Copies of this chain bind each other. A is one copy, B any other.
Amino acid sequence: MREAMRVSVCRQPKLRYIMENFVFHSPTEFVFGRDTQKDTGKLVAKYGGKRVLLVYGGGSAERSGLIATVKDALDAEGIFHTVLKDIQPNPTDDKVYEGIALCQEHAVDFILAVGGGSVVDTAKAVALGSCYSGDFWDFYAGKEQPQDALPIGVVLTIPAAGSEGSPNSVITKREGHHKISYRCQLTRPKFAIENPELTMTLPPFQTACGIVDMLCHIFERYFSNTPAPLVNAYSEAIMRDIMDRGLTLRLNPDDYEARADIMWAGTLAHNGLCGVGKVEDWASHRIEHEVSAIYDVAHGAGLACIVPAWLKFVAKSNPDMVWRFAINVMSVNPAGLSTEQIIDEGIALLKDFYHDLGLTTSLRELIGKEPDIDLLVKGLEGNMGKTVGGYVTLTMDDCRKIYEEAL
């Protein structure tokens, strides 16, 4: 196949798809580098914010002085601000309702998220809900299409979810553990401030989970039946760099340039660049979302269990891109190996990488007990219907086998 011209072994694809038409529109202004958080007030003002809802997680952003810096920057521009704090990982609908009420009470016209994906995703849901007379969950449940959203700005502290440059957000409805990912172009942030120095104090576990998550955002687009030599080539370059730099950070968490690469790669992984013209997959994310919704584990840690099991399963019926991944990303030397051996070695090396990051690839180990696979499959079916995935269409029976493989 044409995409594989640069590797040692060439093969014809079983199926020939065509490149899809696409729209790529990533209008976010990315302001990247040291001390850039000091520009927060000017950027909010540039995008018309006069009354801000400041959304953040918990103590670390306060203790580090970041929240004080951001508030000072808003004050310097004469911008009013009120606070929605204590956003937790796997953010839930209750905080969204709280935020919407604050926006109404204070006539907020701009949402500023200071944190990682959970904070940004909460900000997006509040931005949508504040411009809607009904229940914001209507959008996530697919019942309504939003017409408007408040503008959003981001000061990023965790490179992982890519939410700072994406139209996506993931919210969990506490009643019933419904964890739903929603894509809406209205919620692309106006600006995202990315200072790699702010990520240096992240615990190694959080750094690792972020790396797994951003890699998986590329996987969900890379594993596709659409021919895409250019997109595949730059996606592979980004994936290899994330892995190199991820290992660098295990040894030296203060390496500014490695932090910078990881931060920028996390944005490119999910702003759409790596998916242009391709039919995307997203099965791994959906299969994992049930795990983190039900057992409240970190999304990235869940993905480290699900992704290798998913790869092993899909390679049986559609090996081409898994084989290419093994050679071009995991650097398996194909000489003398069968297709199956190349794929097995690629998946083994990916698991080794996750282990090197300090993560487990076993669901049992992750949640500390035997997971209830019936419950996981039931939840997945409730949220997704009969099938998931674009690279291989998976039935709920297939997903059960993937959960079992991930045990």
Binds B, one of A28-36, A71-79, A199-207, A307-315: A28-36
Interface assignment of A233: CB less than 8 Å from any CB of chain B: yes
- Expressed in whole angstroms, the Cα–Cα distance for A260 and B261 within the complex equals 28
Q: Knowing A6-B240, A229-B261 are in contact, say whether A22-B29 is a contact too (CB < 8 A).
A: no
> Are the C-beta atoms of B265 and A230 separated by less than 8 Å?
yes
Residues of B within 8 A of A31 (CB): 23
A387 within 8 A of B: no
A227 interface residue, CB < 8 Å from B?
yes
Q: A317 an interface residue at 8 Å Cβ cutoff?
A: no
B2, B6, B244, B260: the one within 8 Å of A19 (CB): B260
The reply on A27 being an interface residue by CB < 8 A is yes
How many chain A residues touch B (Cβ–Cβ < 8 Å)? 45
Asked if A277 CB lies within 8 Å of chain B CBs, one says yes
Check A238–B244 contact: CB distance below 8 A: no
The residue on B at minimum CB distance from A24 is B30
Partner of A24, one of B32, B230, B233, B265: B32
Q: Which of A254-272 contact B (CB under 8 A)?
A: 256-257, 260-261, 264-265, 268
A233 touches B229 (CB 8 A): no
- Bound together, the chains give a CA A31 to CA B256 distance in angstroms of 36
CB of A25 closer than 8 Å to a CB of B? yes
Most buried by B among A32, A34, A227, A237: A237
Distance between A137 CB and nearest chain B CB, rounded to angstroms: 29
Interface residues of A (CB under 8 A from B): 2, 5-6, 18-36, 227, 229-231, 233-234, 236-238, 240-241, 244-245, 256-257, 260-261, 264-265, 268, 273, 276-277
Q: Apart from A19-B257, A22-B33, A230-B261, what are 13 other A-B pairs with CB-CB below 8 Å? A: A5-B244, A18-B257, A23-B30, A32-B276, A227-B257, A229-B244, A229-B245, A230-B265, A231-B264, A233-B237, A233-B241, A234-B234, A260-B277
